[in-house]
Structure 1
Amino acid sequence: MTSPAAPAERRVPEAVHRRRWAILGVLMLSLLIVVLDNSILNVAIKTISTPPPTGLGATQSELEWAINAYTLVFAGLLFSAGLLGDRLGRKKVLLAGLVVFGIGSALAAQSGSPGELIAFRAVMGLGAAFVMPATLAVLMNVFERDEQPKAIGIWAGGVGLAIAIGPITGGILLDHFWWGSVFLINVPIVLVALALMLWLVPDSQDPNPGRVDPVGVVLSVIGLVLLVYGIIKGGQLADFTDTTVLATIGAGLAVLAAFVVFEKRSDHPSIDVTYFKNKVFSAAIGAIALVFFALMGVTFFSVFYTQSVRGYTPLQTGLLMLPLAVAQMVFAPRARLVVDRFGNKAVCTAGLLVIAAMLAAFATLEADTPIWILEVIFFFMGTGMAHIMTPVSVVIMQALPREKAGSASALSNTFRQVGGALGIAVLGSVLSTAYRSGIEDSLPAAARHKAGESIEATLGFAAKLGARGEALIGPAHDAFLHAMHVTALCGAGVALFGAVVVALFLPGKAPQPQQEPGEPGEKELVTTDQ
Structure 2
Amino acid sequence: MSVVTPVRALPAPARDVRSNPWLTLIAVAFGLFMVGLDGSVVAIANPYIGADLNATLPQLQWVTNSYLLALAAVLVLGGKLGDRFGRHTFFLIGVAGFTVASIAIGLVGSIEGVIVFRALQGVFGALLMPNTLGLLRAVFPPSTFGRAVGIWAMVSSVSTALGPIVGGLLVEHVNWESVFYLNAPIGVIALAFGAWVLPKSKNSTGHHRFDIAGVVLLALGMLAIVYAVVQGESWGWGSPKTLGTLLLGVLILLVFVLAEKNLEHPLLPMRLFRNRSLAIGTVITAVNFFALLGTIFYVLLYLQNVRVYTAVEAGLLTLPLSLASVVAAPIGAALTDKYGPRLTMPLGMLLQAVALLALLRLGVDSSYLTLWPSFVGLGLGTGIVLSASSEAIVGNAPVKDAGVAGGLQATALQLGGALGTSVLLSVLSGRVGSTLTGELTAAGVPAPLASGLHEAKDAVAQGVAPTPAGVSAQVQSAIVEGSAQAFVNGVHTAVLVTGIVCLIGAVVAYVGVRRGATPVETPVAH
Please give the TM-score of this superposition, normalised by the length of structure 2.
Answer: 0.85
Please name the residue that 1:312 is paired with: 309
Q: Distance in 1 between matches of 2:452 and 2:340?
A: 58
Of 464, 480, 483, the match for 1:473: 480
Letter in 1 for 2:360: A
Of 502, 505, 520, the match for 2:512: 505
Q: Distance in 2 between matches of 1:525 and 1:454?
A: 50
Matches within 5 A, 1:456-467: 459=464, 462=467
Please name the residue that 1:225 is paired with: 223
Q: Distance in 2 between matches of 1:525 and 1:122?
A: 37
**Structure 1 87/339 Cα, relative in aligned 2: closer, same or farther at 3 Å?**
closer
Please name the residue that 1:324 is paired with: 321
Please name the residue that 2:75 is paired with: 78
Please give the per-residue CA displacement for 1:351-408, whole angstroms capped at 9, x wherever unaligned: 1011112122233212211113312211111111121111221222222222222112
Please name the residue that 2:497 is paired with: 490
Please name the residue that 1:455 is paired with: 460
Q: Distance in 1 between matches of 2:435 and 2:146?
A: 48
Q: Distance in 1 between matches of 2:250 and 2:181?
A: 36
Matches within 5 A, 1:37-116: 37-45=38-46, 47=48, 52-53=51-52, 59=57, 65-110=62-107, 116=113
Q: Residue 147 of structure 1 aligns to a residue in which SS?
A: helix
Q: Are the aligned partners of 1:174 and 1:181 in contact in 2 as well (CA < 8 Å)?
A: yes
Please name the residue that 2:276 is paired with: 279
Q: Distance in 2 between matches of 1:302 and 1:98?
A: 31
Please name the residue that 1:370 is paired with: 367
Letter in 1 for 2:246: I
**Unaligned 5+ runs, structure 2:** 1-13, 441-448
Q: Distance in 2 between matches of 1:465 and 1:198?
A: 65
Between the aligned residues of both structures, percent identity stands at: 32
Q: Are the aligned partners of 1:283 and 1:505 in contact in 2 as well (CA < 8 Å)?
A: yes
Letter in 2 for 1:294: A
Q: Are the aligned partners of 2:437 and 2:453 in contact in 1 as well (CA < 8 Å)?
A: no
Letter in 1 for 2:373: V
Please name the residue that 1:521 is paired with: none
Letter in 1 for 2:423: V
Letter in 2 for 1:102: T
Of 344, 348, 372, the match for 1:351: 348
Letter in 2 for 1:272: P
Please give the per-residue CA displacement for 1:138-171, whole angstroms capped at 9, x wherever unaligned: 2222222222111111111111221232222112
Q: Are the aligned partners of 1:17 and 1:142 in contact in 2 as well (CA < 8 Å)?
A: no
Letter in 1 for 2:51: P
Q: Are the aligned partners of 1:227 and 1:248 in contact in 2 as well (CA < 8 Å)?
A: yes
Q: Distance in 2 between matches of 1:461 and 1:116?
A: 33
Please name the residue that 1:25 is paired with: 26
Shifted more, 496-505 versus 37-46: the winner is 37-46
**Structure 1 240/370 Cα, relative in aligned 2: closer, same or farther at 3 Å?**
same
**Structure 1 116/367 Cα, relative in aligned 2: closer, same or farther at 3 Å?**
farther
2:366 is the alignment partner of 1:361 = no
Letter in 2 for 1:154: I
Please name the residue that 2:183 is paired with: 186
Q: Distance in 1 between matches of 2:234 and 2:437?
A: 14
Q: Distance in 1 between matches of 2:41 and 2:472?
A: 34
Letter in 2 for 1:435: V
Please give the per-residue CA displacement for 1:9-65, whole angstroms capped at 9, x wherever unaligned: xxxx952366432331121011001111112234445555xx624x85653x66654
Q: CA deviation at 1:466?
A: 8.8
Q: CA deviation at 1:174?
A: 2.0
Q: Distance in 1 between matches of 2:519 and 2:372?
A: 37
* Aligned-residue CA RMSD (Å): 3.0
**Unaligned 5+ runs, structure 1:** 1-12, 512-523
Please give the TM-score of this superposition, normalised by the length of structure 1.
Answer: 0.85
Letter in 2 for 1:485: H
Letter in 2 for 1:430: V
Of 407, 431, 447, the match for 2:404: 407
Letter in 2 for 1:453: D
Q: CA deviation at 1:96?
A: 1.2
Please name the residue that 1:4 is paired with: none
**Structure 1 371/491 Cα, relative in aligned 2: closer, same or farther at 3 Å?**
same
Q: Are the aligned partners of 1:296 and 1:424 in contact in 2 as well (CA < 8 Å)?
A: yes
Q: Are the aligned partners of 2:333 and 2:387 in contact in 1 as well (CA < 8 Å)?
A: yes
Please give the per-residue CA displacement for 1:397-427, whole angstroms capped at 9, x wherever unaligned: 2222222221121111121112222222222
Q: Residue 476 of structure 1 aligns to a residue in which SS?
A: helix
